[in-house]
């Protein structure tokens, strides 16, 4: 058990909290790679769609490998994060393809 303020957190609650923090960090990294969030180290918007795709694949793998071992909260959090990243990834890929097309006159 761990005490946080006046509340005692049991091992399962701590484990769930750490899992959600880890998934949140991956999602945030994915959003940075999609150019949706400023990189706090550089203070700039940076895009790396290949890295973003890698993070999405990592999250999908984690979801598959932890199937049946996640709480409803953890399951929903990872599923929502994956869906959000996938939608934003598709948006950025479409935007990049449009920018690459030669403009017809």
pLDDT tens digits along 21-49? 999 999 999 999 999 999 888 999 999 99
Residue 7, classed as helix, strand or coil, is: strand
For the packed helices 11-33 and 72-100, what is the interaxial angle rounded to 10 degrees?
A: 0
Domain ranges in the chain are 9-84
The rounded Cα 70 to chain-centroid distance in angstroms is 17
Q: What angle do CA 31, 18, 58 make, to 5 degrees?
A: 45
pTM to 2 decimal places: 0.85
pLDDT tens digits along 90-105? 999 999 888 888 766 5
């Amino acid at each position: 058990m761990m005490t946080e303020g006046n509340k005692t957190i049991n091992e399962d609650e701590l484990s769930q909290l750490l899992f959600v923090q880890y998934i949140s960090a991956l999602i945030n990294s994915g959003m940075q790679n999609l150019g949706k969030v400023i990189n706090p180290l550089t203070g700039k918007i940076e895009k790396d769609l290949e890295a973003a795709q890698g993070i999405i694949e990592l999250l999908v793998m984690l979801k598959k490998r932890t199937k049946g071992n996640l709480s409803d909260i953890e399951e929903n959090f990872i599923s929502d994060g994956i869906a959000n990243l996938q939608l934003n990834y598709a948006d950025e890929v479409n935007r990049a393809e449009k920018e690459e097309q030669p403009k017809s006159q």
